[in-house]
Amino acid sequence: MRSHWQVESMHWVLDMTFREDESRIRKKRGPLAFNVMRKIAMALFKQDDTQKENDRAGR
């Protein structure tokens, strides 16, 4: 049960920060490529020492 909410938390962050649910990328491997790039960017934001007030401002 807890692992489910951890996944939901990550998806919520991706949606709020990168507006992932509003993405119109749907052809070929585009969705997978952008999903990987968003997760890499999110990991880099978490490592940033000069943390902004929120992820969206940092982006």
What is the pLDDT at residue 43? 86
- Residue 52 — very low, low, confident or very high, per pLDDT cuts 50/70/90? low
The per-residue pLDDT for range 11-49, each reduced to its tens digit, is 788 877 888 878 888 889 888 898 888 889 888 888 877
Lowest-pLDDT choice from 6-10, 11-15, 54-58: 54-58
Burial of 18 (C-beta count, 10 Å sphere; 0-12/13-18/19+): buried
CA dist 50 → 9, 40, 59 (Å): 23, 18, 12
